[in-house]
Amino acid sequence: MSSGERAKAKAEQVLGKTVRKAAHAVHKETLAAKGAALETRGRMRAAKERTKDSFKH
């Protein structure tokens, strides 16, 4: 996985989790869903990169 993609994936996961938890704290369910989607997108980006790496080696 390239370091740039790895950083993007980790940033999306951390930011999504933070947004989700903060939104739940103030009872904003729509914002919580957006945070969860961002977190999931980060996890999927990381998984895609891991898969690409496994085929290269």
Q: Is residue 17 part of a domain?
A: no
Taking residues 23-41, what's their average pLDDT?
Answer: 95
- Asked whether residue 36 carries a pLDDT value surpassing 80, the answer given is yes
Per-residue confidence (pLDDT) for residue 9, from 0 to 100: 92
Question: pLDDT tier at 22 (50, 70, 90 boundaries)?
Answer: very high
Q: Is residue 3 part of a domain?
A: no
The whole-angstrom separation of Cα 42 and Cα 51 is 14
Q: Is residue 41 part of a domain?
A: yes
Q: How many Cβ atoms sit within 10 Å of the Cβ of residue 12? A: 20
The whole-angstrom separation of Cα 41 and Cα 1 is 16
Residue ranges making up the domain that contains 32: 28-56
Number of domains forming the structure of the chain: 1
- Convert 33-47 to b/e letters by CB count within 10 Å (16 or more is b): eebbebbeebeebbe
What's the pTM? 0.81
